[in-house]
């Protein structure tokens, strides 16, 4: 692509990504609560005042208002500017990484990445994965498969994608039902099963393995750190002898790790696989 066009593409993708990030915040708040995503218009969740257009500018408004509602002074979550900024960087990254394959793959990666942002933030806040985002992820997988068939995709191949989808469904459904049978508890949510089935289609079977490895390793490390901190707090609280509420085992959401790992694999999966295979061949 011509250098000028590429610069225009970066600027466009960043600005669009920023605005779309604002919409992702709406989805993150409303989808798990079963609310409509079009009405009512954006309002403060504390005082219900409608948000003026000039207070709804991504990132900038948050900085100007210093993270507080103009009407009631309630604190606005830092999640809002972070999601907007994250989506802005994601979309610019998609242009950088996928523009060599053509516009089709850029668009697919943008939408898949945004859906993964909604999945990871919703799940860490509410323990719910909106089904509509999984549908979008699956549609991105189908689109990526078609791009491969027409020779303008990343070249994972339709066979690898279909095998990835089937393998993810069988493996994660087995873990899900196996855990329920053996322990009577849900080891992972059924949303995780659906998420990884769509991810298998998006990444192919090799990429799926990479994503599962990244998610498991990072979750294990974070769980370790989390349990150390919880242990320390316990020791401190023993002096006050407050009745301890047992933190349930499912209080650790796995989907954000899966979603982030799928995103990383979407970008770096193929270089990682080539590097790994290169160690042996």
Judged by beta carbon, residue 52 or residue 234, the one nearer Zn ion is 52
**Which among 83, 104, 79, 81 is positioned nearest to 94, based on CA atoms?**
104
**Closest distance of CB 50 from Zn ion, Å:** 10
Pick between residue 44 and residue 259 the one whose CB is nearest to Zn ion: 44
For residue 25, the minimal CB distance to Zn ion (Å) is 16
Which range, of 23-31, 66-74, 167-175, 252-260, touches Zn ion by CB under 5 A? Answer: 66-74
Q: Work out how close the CB of 75 gets to Zn ion at its nearest, in angstroms, rounded to a whole number.
A: 10
**C-beta atoms surrounding 223 within 10 Å:** 13
Task: Yes or no: say if 58 and 19 are a contact pair by the CB < 8 Å rule.
Answer: yes
Q: Which residue in the set 9, 13, 24, 44 belongs to the binding site for Zn ion (CB under 5 A)? A: 44
67 by Cβ neighbours in 10 Å (0-12 / 13-18 / 19+) ranks as middle
Minimum distance from residue 69 beta carbon to Zn ion (Å) = 3
The residue range among 37-45, 138-146, 189-197, 220-228 that interacts with Zn ion, by the rule CB under 5 A, is 37-45
Give the nearer residue to Zn ion in terms of CB position, either 30 or 70. Answer: 70
* Pick 67 or 187: Cβ nearer Zn ion: 67
Among 7, 46, 213, 277, binds Zn ion (CB under 5 A): 46
Site for Zn ion in 71-90 (CB under 5 A): 71-72, 74
Question: Of residues 9, 69, 202, 215, which one binds Zn ion by CB under 5 A?
Answer: 69
Q: What is the DSSP string of the chain?
A: --HHHHHHHHHHHHHHHHHHHHHHHHHHHHGGGT--SSSSPPB-TTT-PBPPGGG-STTHHHHHTTTB-TTT-PBPPTHHHHHHHHHHHHHHHHHHHHGGG-HHHHHHHHHHHHHHHHHHHHHHHHS---HHHHHHHHHHHHHHHHHHHTT-S-S--HHHHHHHHHHHHHHHHHHHHHHHHHHSS-SS-HHHHHHHHHHHHHHHHHHHHHHHHHHHHHHHHHHHHHHHHHHHHHHHHTTTTPPPPPPPGGGS-SHHHHHHHHHHHHHHHHHHHHHHHHTT-
Residue 45 lies near Zn ion (rule: CB under 5 A): no
Binding segment for Zn ion (CB under 5 A), chosen from 9-17, 70-78, 161-169, 233-241, is 70-78
Question: Which listed range, 53-61, 64-72, 129-137, 189-197, lies at the site for Zn ion (CB under 5 A)?
Answer: 64-72
Q: Which stretch binds Zn ion (CB under 5 A): 39-47, 50-58, 98-106, 199-207?
A: 39-47
8/78 with CB nearer Zn ion: 78
- Give the nearer residue to Zn ion in terms of CB position, either 35 or 103: 35
Cβ proximity to Zn ion: between 37 and 72 the closer is: 72
Toward Zn ion, which CB reaches closer, 71 or 186? 71
- How many CB atoms sit inside 10 A of residue 141's CB? 24
Radius of gyration for the chain, computed over Cα atoms and rounded to the nearest angstrom: 21
Positions in the binding site for Zn ion (CB under 5 A): 44, 46-47, 69, 71-72, 74
């Amino acid at each position: 692509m011509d250098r000028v066009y590429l610069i225009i593409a970066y600027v466009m993708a960043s600005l669009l990504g920023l605005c779309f990030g604002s919409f992702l915040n709406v989805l993150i708040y409303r989808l798990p609560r079963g609310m409509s995503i079009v009405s009512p218009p954006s309002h403060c969740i504390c005082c219900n005042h409608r948000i003026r257009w000039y207070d709804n500018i991504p990132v900038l408004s948050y900085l100007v208002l210093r993270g507080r509602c103009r009407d009631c002074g309630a604190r606005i979550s830092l999640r809002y500017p972070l999601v907007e900024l994250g989506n802005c960087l994601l979309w610019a990254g998609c242009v950088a990484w996928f523009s060599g394959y053509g516009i089709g793959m850029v668009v697919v990666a943008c939408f898949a990445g945004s859906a993964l942002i909604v999945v990871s933030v919703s799940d860490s806040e509410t323990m719910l994965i909106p089904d509509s985002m999984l549908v979008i992820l699956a549609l991105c997988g189908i689109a990526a498969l078609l791009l491969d068939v027409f020779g303008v995709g990343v070249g994972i191949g339709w066979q690898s994608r279909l095998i990835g989808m089937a393998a993810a469904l069988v493996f994660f459904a087995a873990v899900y039902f196996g855990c329920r049978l053996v322990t009577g508890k849900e080891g992972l949510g059924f949303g995780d099963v659906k998420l990884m089935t769509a991810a298998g289609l998006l990444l192919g079977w090799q990429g799926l393995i990479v994503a599962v490895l990244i998610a498991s390793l990072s979750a294990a490390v974070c769980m370790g750190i989390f349990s150390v901190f919880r242990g320390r707090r316990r020791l401190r609280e023993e002096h006050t002898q407050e009745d301890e509420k047992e933190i349930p085992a499912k209080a650790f959401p796995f989907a954000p790790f899966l979603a982030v790992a799928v995103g990383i694999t979407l970008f770096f999966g193929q270089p990682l696989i080539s590097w790994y295979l290169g160690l042996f061949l």
